[in-house]
Amino acid sequence: MPVRVRTALVFLATWLLAACSGRQSALDPQGLQSDQIRHTLFIFLIIAAIVWIAVMVVLGIGMLRRKRASNQPLDLDRRFEEGSGRLILGLGIATVIIVLGLSFVSYAGQRTVFAKDENALTLKIIGHQWWWEVHYEADSPHQSFVTANEIRIPTGQPVKVELESADVIHSFWVPSLTGKMDLITGQKNELQFTAKNAGIYRGQCAEFCGLQHAHMAFAVIALPPDEFGRWRDHENQSANSPADPLGKQGEDLFRGRGCALCHNIRGTLAGGQLGPDLTHVGNRTTVAAGTLPLSPATLGAWIADPQHIKPGNLMPRMPLQSDELIAIIHYLEQLK
């Protein structure tokens, strides 16, 4: 290959694949299960590549080979007919052996991926059009709390998520940690995984669930166990009371302007259940189920007009004066 062509190809490939180890990639495993799956995937990939290349080579030789002696279509060579018959049969048997082998590889991988650990940390996740409700459940009820759209887990410890749906079917998928599992109306599914390394892993709803299926993401934040414990203790507490008058005004407006009809903020009078829990919303990394990174600006943009950012989502646009909006944002920001 001329050098120029090669450089161009390499360039093209790097340009295209620059982001391959992106934010939610099955090729960039950070968990025990995703690691196993990638391993299985590579075995399949290599065998598939070999089979395809073999077929292409045979096809190529078939095309380039010298022509048959006779040009009468029915004037066939007995030896070739019989030989090729045996060869086809042999290849058929080889295919049987390969697919049985692959089935075995697949099953072995499946066993590892779906292995159960009784001591797993248990979370319950309920899918909603188009956001995630997350329950941390513990033996004592005052250790249990609800949050949304963001899951924090300890590294190195198995996590079990119980999956349910409040409306249509969704699918829980964090490619860097493990494969997906559906959240099905009227059925309880579960999934276990273990994060190997600390980090923020993006997840996204994978089953088409209506208008805003594209914007039903979430973040899984894996923390070292002690840090996770601190977070959990903090998250378990009720919301901060606002420290300044603007914040207080925001808290009142949150009730007065109807937000509290849908949103719960523990420790306040806001107890709505239709939308995500906002008790510690200030600690989250994103707004509106992973649609925007969280900042005062994005929070404001969202509250000012949720239908612009995520058309069709179930939070209506609330009529707010701009000073009211500023107060609400200020309040929500403090909910850390």
Site for ligand CUA, rule CB under 6 A: 127, 130, 170, 205, 207-209, 213, 216
Burial (CB count within 10 angstroms: exposed 0-12, middle 13-18, buried 19+), residue 64:
exposed
Which own/partner pairs from 46-52 qualify as long-range (CB within 8 Å, at least 24 positions apart)? 47/98, 47/102, 51/98
Give the nearer residue to another protein in terms of CB position, either 75 or 226. Answer: 75
Out of ligand CUA, another protein, ligand HEA, none, which partner does residue 22 contact, by CB within 5 to 8 A per kind? another protein
Q: Name the residue with tokens 């994103």.
A: 286
Residues 174-193 touching ligand HEC, rule: CB under 6 A, are none
CA distance 109 to 237: 41
212 or 268, CB closer to another protein?
212
Stretch that binds ligand HEA, among 95-103, 132-140, 229-237, 323-331 (CB under 6 A): 95-103
Q: Which residues, numbered 231-290, are part of the site for ligand HEC (CB under 6 A)?
A: 257-259, 261-263, 274-276, 278, 281, 284, 287-289
The answer for residues whose C-beta is within 8 angstroms of residue 135's C-beta and 6 or more apart is 123, 124, 125, 126, 144, 145, 146
- Longest CA span, the chain: 99
**Which residue bears the tokens 């025990």?**
32
The residues in 139-168 that bind another protein, with binding defined as CB under 8 A, are 163, 167-168
Which lies closer to ligand CUA via its Cβ, residue 215 or residue 280? Answer: 215
When the beta carbons of 9 and 46 are compared against ligand HEA, the nearer one is 46
CB atoms within 10 A of CB 224: 13
Indicate which of another protein, ligand HEC, ligand CUA, none lies near residue 280 (CB less than 5 to 8 Å, by partner kind). Answer: none
First to last CA, the chain: 59
Q: Does 132 bind ligand HEC (CB under 6 A)?
A: no
Q: Does 59 bind ligand HEA (CB under 6 A)?
A: no
51/297 with CB nearer another protein: 51
- Give the whole-angstrom CA distance, residue 334 versus residue 201: 25
For 153, counting Cβ atoms within 10 Å of its Cβ (0-12 exposed, 13-18 middle, 19+ buried), the class is buried
Segment interacting with another protein, rule: CB under 8 A, options 56-64, 139-147, 272-280, 321-329: 56-64
CB-based contact 268:248 (threshold 8 Å):
no
Element (H, E) at 145: strand 145-148
* Footprint (CB under 6 A) of ligand HEA, residues 99-128: 99
Which position's Cβ is nearest ligand HEA?
Answer: 98
Q: Which residues bind ligand HEA (CB under 6 A)?
A: 51, 55, 95, 98-99
Q: Which residues bind ligand HEC (CB under 6 A)?
A: 130-131, 148-149, 212, 257-259, 261-263, 274-276, 278, 281, 284, 287-289, 299, 302-303, 310, 313-316, 318, 328, 332
